[in-house]
Amino acid sequence: MTGLAGNGGSVVAGRTDVADGFRPQRVIVRGDTGNWALQSALDRRGLGPVAGTDEAGRGACAGPLVVASCVLRPGDARRLDGLTDSKLLTERSRERMYDLVLARAVDYAIVVIPPAEVDARGVHVANIEGMRRAIARLTTHPGYILVDGFRVAGLTAPSMPVVKGDQAVACVAAASVLAKVTRDRIMVDLHRDLPQYGFDEHKGYCTPEHGVALDAHGPTVEHRWSYVNVVAAAVRHGMTPPRRVARGGFLEKYETEMELQLYREYRDIVSQFAYVVETERRFYLANSVDVQVRNADGEVYFELRMSDAWVWDMYRPARFVKNVRVITFKDVNVEELDKPDLRLPEGGPFTN
């Protein structure tokens, strides 16, 4: 289409050359500002207030899922010195930072999702919905939202997922602190009623000590009955779920759609790679794989190094990376792709 540009712009058939004065200024993310860099760049371009959101308790098999959102004041980095991913802070540092964030934040919201809702909807769906609620409950409407890890549809403003956002972005780190401290306090309160499970120590996560307690006493209503270790303990004690547990419906459809998406993406690019690698959490295609078996304090683990890899998991978009290093205590499956070309079955669910 022919366009018209003024002030030095020229008209050319099929395109418009626009003068530099018409182009928006590039956003500069200043690396020397640490985990404030991205939100500061968005603020400078008029896209603030910038909100961050994160959760705590996704991997736990007992207790609630807690999601928080937070808007920080631009330029408040010095007053919040040491703010980072809550999991990297000591308990004392988290408590101090929690009080500091509450005192300094422009706005924040905390959503507590009980185990019953996690069981009914599935943890991922509950997590996504919790982030939507946490953002919606902010009284300060954000201009932009930064989310830890994966994309969340249906937010009230433009948003972007940030890999390891709780370490890379200050407002996401603040949300992670609010969520974790809130959840830890809830678990300490639960310990007073159920001391035999040790919730004050492991906070409901799947530790060996928690597993021993589950085997000895069976699960409670505070456990997540949609988790396989909880179900296994219940079976051993002849117990049945105290509530509805998601086994189909929306969650099943979501997981099926994710599997189909993986298959189609895999089908389109598999011929470019020599190896397929499966770990507990992710799926890789790579052209070189180095697997080393390590031993630390009597525990065996695997260290994998891959180059030119395609990485996929259920909760993040697929992405190409130059180099990958994976450390896992779980099983690893590595297969050489002797016949990389796939042929789709006639008909069936994988047909476009």
The burial class, CB within 10 Å (0-12 / 13-18 / 19+), for 218 is middle
- DSSP 8-state code for residue 307: E
More confident residue, 27 or 225: 225
How much is the pLDDT for 75? 82
Structure tokens at 64: 């609630």
How much is the pLDDT for 28? 47
Percentage of the chain beyond pLDDT 90 is: 36
Q: By the 8 A CB rule, do 97 and 191 touch?
A: no
What's the rounded mean pLDDT across residues 122-149? 93
Of the listed ranges 47-51, 231-235, 260-264, the least confidently predicted one is 260-264
314, 315, 321, 326 alpha-carbon torsion, rounded to 10° = -80
Vertex 113: Cα angle to 107 and 114 (nearest 5) = 145
Phi, psi of 193 (to 5 degrees): -85, -30
Closest residue by Cα to residue 71 from 21, 108, 114, 111: 108
Structure tokens at 316: 């993040």
How much is the pLDDT for 21? 47
How much is the pLDDT for 18? 40
Residue 234: pLDDT over 80: yes
Q: Cα(61)–Cα(246) distance, rounded to whole angstroms? A: 15
Closest residue by Cα to residue 284 from 252, 328, 251: 328
- DSSP 8-state code for residue 204: T
Distance in angstroms between the alpha carbons of the first and the last residue of the chain: 33
Q: Tokens 């790679």 belong to which residue?
A: 273
Highest averaged pLDDT of the listed ranges 84-88, 123-127, 261-265: 123-127
317, 323, 329, 335 alpha-carbon torsion, rounded to 10° = 80
Q: What value does the mean pLDDT of the chain take?
A: 78
Of the listed ranges 96-100, 323-327, 334-338, the least confidently predicted one is 334-338
Q: By the 8 A CB rule, do 10 and 22 touch?
A: no
Structure tokens at 153: 């549809």
- DSSP 8-state code for residue 139: S
How far is C-alpha 87 from the chain's CA centre? 14
What is the SS3 assignment for 69? strand
Q: By the 8 A CB rule, do 219 and 196 touch?
A: no
What's the rounded mean pLDDT across residues 301-320? 71
Residue 249: pLDDT over 50: no
pTM to 2 decimals? 0.63
Q: Cα(100)–Cα(344) distance, rounded to whole angstroms? A: 57
How far is C-alpha 229 from the chain's CA centre? 22
Q: By the 8 A CB rule, do 73 and 104 touch?
A: yes
Structure tokens at 128: 């996504």
